[in-house]
A and B are shown apart, each in its own frame.
Chain A
Amino acid sequence: GEDVEQSLFLSVREGDSSVINCTYTDSSSTYLYWYKQEPGAGLQLLTYIFSNMDMKQDQRLTVLLNKKDKHLSLRIADTQTGDSAIYFCAETPGFQKLVFGTGTRLLVSP
């Protein structure tokens, strides 16, 4: 079945890199997404990667995709306190549905 797993918590210091990992199950997902949720807010699309890509870079964000292992990661370079939030990865077994991971709470300390 569909199951997307993430670690629940990550703590880093300001200026360090953060790496948030995700494993997914549906190899037919065309796109894989990363969303950010700040306290009291909805979900904001951070970035996405097409399933035939290995890597995508967007300013401070780097997404790596290992299709063989069904592993997705999000690297945030030069992490800032404003990056503190919950990060969700999501797979798309079909357009009608996003399957979300449990979310990783990133805490950035000064």
Chain B
Amino acid sequence: EAQVTQNPRYLITVTGKKLTVTCSQNMNHEYMSWYRQDPGLGLRQIYYSMNVEVTDKGDVPEGYKVSRKEKRNFPLILESPSPNQTSLYFCASGSRVSVEGYTFGSGTRLTVV
């Protein structure tokens, strides 16, 4: 089954403790991206990657890092999480040859206390 898999689904952590949210896709998509969803703000793009070893900032990159060492994986790294990073995070992947937009993961609900 074609899908984007994020882990974990839920995470509670403390301020300053480094964490990584993993994202993997099995569709050989060249494009991957991270979004965060906050009430009243919709989804905002954090980082995106157009291909392996190519990453770029989205609209709200502060406090986040990403890497794209392999085509299928695009982890999101919070080096020193803060409470304002409490949010619902979505990973997405897509391909230029498909008009059907992007495939989204099921989300990771992160709480930073």
Contact = CB atoms under 8 A, between A and B. Distances in A.
Contact of B105 (A31, A35, A42, A100): A42
Given A42-B90, A97-B45, A102 B40 contact: yes
B50 interface: yes
Interface in B50-86: 50, 56, 58
Contact of A45 (B4, B33, B56, B101): B101
A42 B48 contact: no
B17 interface: no
Interface size band for A: 20 to 34
The dominant DSSP class at the A interface is: strand
Nearest to B38: A102
A103 B42 contact: yes
A13 B87 CA distance: 32
5 contacts: A8-B40, A48-B100, A92-B101, A96-B33, A101-B42
Dominant secondary structure at the B interface: strand
B106 interface: yes
A24 interface: no
A43 B104 contact: yes
Interface residues of B, number: 27
B104 A42 contact: yes
Given A43-B92, A96-B31, A101-B42, 8 more contacts: A41-B106, A41-B107, A43-B90, A45-B103, A90-B101, A95-B94, A98-B35, A98-B101
Interface string B95-110: 0100111111111000
4 shortest A-B CB distances, which residue pairs?
A100-B42, A43-B104, A100-B43, A42-B104
A50 B101 CA distance: 11
A31 B94 CA distance: 14
B87 to A, nearest CB: 14
A102 B35 CA distance: 13
